Amino acid sequence: MLGLIIIALLGLQQAGVVAHGERSRRRLISSSEDEPCMRMNVYYHDILYNGENNGNATSAAATQPTALSRSVSINDTFFGQVIVFDDVVTAGQALASEPVARAQGFYFYDNKERLNAWFAFSLVFNSTAHKGTLNVMGADLIFNKTKDFSIVGGTGDFFMSRGIATVRTDSYEGLYYFRLHMDIKLYECYV
């Protein structure tokens, strides 16, 4: 099962009631970085299309890198290349473990000096546990051990949610597969 913790009102402020269709929700805002109102640990699997793996590839380059990507000593920085993905997100490390969501969006390489990317995607949940989306974006400083993406909003079960996804590379197998561990912490929840 998902490591999903809904922390009770301890350390959380309640502010207002938001009408959502016929149901009303309570708004929980965490007052502490260590006490998110919801937490989820998941794995993101990116299998890049290499011209042959059309059976299992879930991401593909939509553009070539720009010529600028070969202009500096680090060759190649892929500067300007856009990768579009519909990646599987699982509860466990293994690609075959329980699927939790799809990550649908893109990243592009945005630094000509070194490898560096920028991500924007929706986590699309369509399971018995959760239905809805969390919308995520931020800079992936590839050589930083961890990076924080912003969770800028949500829909459905994650109505109006906001938070931080702390991401680290869990595995990297050549150019065509990498796995990210994502520690999703919501600090604003409507329950």
Ligand X SMILES: *[C@@H]1O[C@H](CO)[C@@H](O)[C@H](O)[C@H]1NC(C)=O
Site residues (vs ligand X, CB under 6 A): 47, 53, 55-56, 70, 73, 75, 95, 126, 141, 144-148, 177
Q: Which of 37, 42, 63, 61 is nearest to 50 (CA)?
A: 61
The minimum distance between CB 147 and ligand X, in angstroms, equals 4
Give CA separation, 5 vs 36, 132, 173, in Å.
9, 18, 31
Give CA separation, 144 vs 46, 104, 115, 141, 166, in Å.
19, 23, 11, 5, 12
Residue 13 or 56 with smaller CB distance to ligand X: 56
The minimum distance between CB 54 and ligand X, in angstroms, equals 8
Residue 172 or 191 with smaller CB distance to ligand X: 172
Residue 141 or 160 with smaller CB distance to ligand X: 141
The minimum distance between CB 17 and ligand X, in angstroms, equals 29
**How far is the C-alpha of 164 from the C-alpha of 151, rounded, in Å?**
5
Residue 13 or 144 with smaller CB distance to ligand X: 144
